[in-house]
Amino acid sequence: MRRVALVIGLAAWLAGPIAGRVAVGAPMEKGAVPEAAPLATSRPPDPANGRRIVVDRRRGFCLLCHSGPFPEERFHGDLAPSLAGAGLRWSEGQIRARLIDSTAINPDTIMPPYFKSEGGYRLGRAFAGKPILNAEEIEDVTAFLATLRD
C-alpha cells in the first residue's frame, strides 16, 4: 500500500514539471552548492546499504531520473546527470545537502527532498509528514555516492 501510494505520488510529482518544462538543472559550480553537516544516527554509515537504496526503485528510486555505474540495472533514467563521478564533483556535505532537500539548492528541481518532513512537495499520502529516507539511510547513500570517483 505504502509503495503504491509512493508510485502514485511520484507520478503526480513528476507530471507537473515534465508536462510543462523539464527542470533539469544546469551544471553548477561546486563552490555555489551548500554543504550539510552529518545527521545524528544510531550507527556508522553503511555505503553498501546506500548502494542498495540507490538502485531500489521503491526506496530511493534514484534511477527513475539518474543513470550511473549500476550494470545490473537495465533501465536508467535520463532526466538528471549520471551519478558516476559524483564523489569527485561534490563533497560529502554537498551530496548530503542535495539529498536532504534538493529544492534548497535549485528551487525548480524535480528531485524530491528525501529528508524533509514538511513543505509543499507532493508525495503519496503514506509519506505525508514523513521523510522518504531516514537519517541512517541519508548517511548510507551519502557515503556510497562519495565512493563514486570515476
Q: Which cell goes with 4?
A: 503504491
Q: Please, are residues 110 and 23 in contact by the beta-carbon 8 Å criterion?
A: yes
Given the rule CB under 6 A, which of 1-9, 34-42, 55-63, 118-126 is the region that contacts ligand HEC?
55-63
Is residue 138 near ligand HEC by the rule CB under 6 A? no
Report if residue 106 touches ligand HEC, rule: CB under 6 A: yes
* C-alpha–C-alpha distance, residues 107 and 25, integer Å: 10
* Contact code string over 14-33 relative to ligand HEC, x by CB under 6 A: x--------xxx--------
CB atoms within 10 A of CB 55: 16
127 forms part of the interface with ligand HEC (CB under 6 A): no
What is the DSSP code (8-state) at residue 58?
Answer: T
Q: 91 or 125, CB closer to ligand HEC?
A: 91
CA-wise closest residue to 60 among 149, 1, 134, 5? 134
Binds ligand HEC (CB under 6 A): choice among 51, 66, 96, 123: 66
Nearest CB to ligand HEC, comparing residues 5 and 14: 14
Answer whether 83's CB lies under 8 Å from 62's CB.
yes
Return the number of the residue (99 or 123) whose C-beta is nearest ligand HEC. Answer: 99
- Grid cell at residue 32: 555555489
> H helices of 35-82, where?
47-55
Contacts with ligand HEC, residue ranges (CB under 6 A): 14, 23-25, 54, 60-62, 64-66, 79-81, 83, 86, 89, 95, 98-99, 102, 105-106, 109-112, 114, 141, 145
